[in-house]
Amino acid sequence: MSREMKRVFILGFSLVILGSNQLSAVADNRQPTNTEINQLRQELREEIPKLRTYKKKGPGNWSDYRKTTEIQTQEHFVRTWSRIAPTVAPFLGEWQGQEEWLMIYPSRVKNQVCIIFMPGDTEDVKFAVSSVYNNQISFPLWGKPNVIIKEQEFLGLIDVLPEDNIAKLWLYTYPNLLKHPSSQIYKRNTAKILSQFNAAGCTTSKP
């Protein structure tokens, strides 16, 4: 996606695309309200046709580079989990943003998900456990509340920027099949994350 296309995209839609350094500067702000969440969800729905045109024009940040076999394997994993955890299953996968990843794992605990946020250029990998309620996930990131929503093959992370007190959404797209975190977070705070992952009953296996 060109710089000009990004600018039009941001101005025409209250969806913010930032790198992990900019996002990590946000701290200690309020939780998004239900009104803000619903508004951003609707705007994401309306923006999806345009996002898909970016994919078709590729290469670009939001192009879908997955192979057909990778898509089928991911979809089979989600369908399998949907039999016992229908509210959780749609969120499962390794979702890629701009130079960062949001990995949502199933758990052996009913209706629980395990979340790993992995910036591409820092050592500060985050782990959280949450549940799915009202088709969204609330979880803490950098000590403040965030909300994850999903629309089709697009995921949005919503938080409130303190400088303007406005809820914004960061985009993640086209989920891949989950890998065990031991193969994902090497040279980072691996031991701590793996300990939290195992203690919470998180898994990469089918039920």
Q: Does residue 204 belong to any structural domain of this protein?
A: no
pLDDT for residue 9:
34
- Structural domain harbouring 172: 3-199
Q: Does residue 11 belong to any structural domain of this protein?
A: yes
CA distance 41 to 70: 27
Per-residue pLDDT of 79-113, as tens digits, reads 999 999 999 999 999 999 888 899 999 999 988 99
Q: How would DSSP label each residue in 120-141?
A: SS-S--EEEEEEEETTEEEEEE
Q: Does residue 122 belong to any structural domain of this protein?
A: yes
Question: What are the distances in angstroms from CA 153 to CA 64, 94, 127, 194?
Answer: 10, 12, 23, 28
Q: Does residue 98 belong to any structural domain of this protein?
A: yes
Could you list the pLDDT tens digit for every one of the 207 residues in the chain?
Answer: 332 333 233 323 444 443 333 444 444 568 899 999 999 999 999 999 888 877 555 455 567 888 999 999 999 999 999 999 999 999 999 999 888 899 999 999 988 999 999 887 667 889 999 999 999 999 888 777 899 999 999 999 998 877 788 899 999 999 999 999 988 887 677 888 999 999 999 999 998
pLDDT for residue 115:
96
CB atoms within 10 A of CB 172: 25
Contact predicate 77/178, CB 8 Å: yes
pLDDT for residue 55:
58
Residue carrying structure tokens 């093959």: 153
The pTM of this model reads: 0.83
Q: State the DSSP H helix or E strand holding residue 85, giving kind and residue range, or none if neither.
A: none
Q: Does residue 206 belong to any structural domain of this protein?
A: no
pLDDT for residue 106:
97
Q: Does residue 207 belong to any structural domain of this protein?
A: no
Q: State the alpha helices, DSSP H only, in the chain.
A: 3-12, 20-24, 34-57, 68-82, 190-199
Q: Does residue 40 belong to any structural domain of this protein?
A: yes
| Number of domains the chain contains | 1
pLDDT for residue 23:
43
Q: Does residue 205 belong to any structural domain of this protein?
A: no
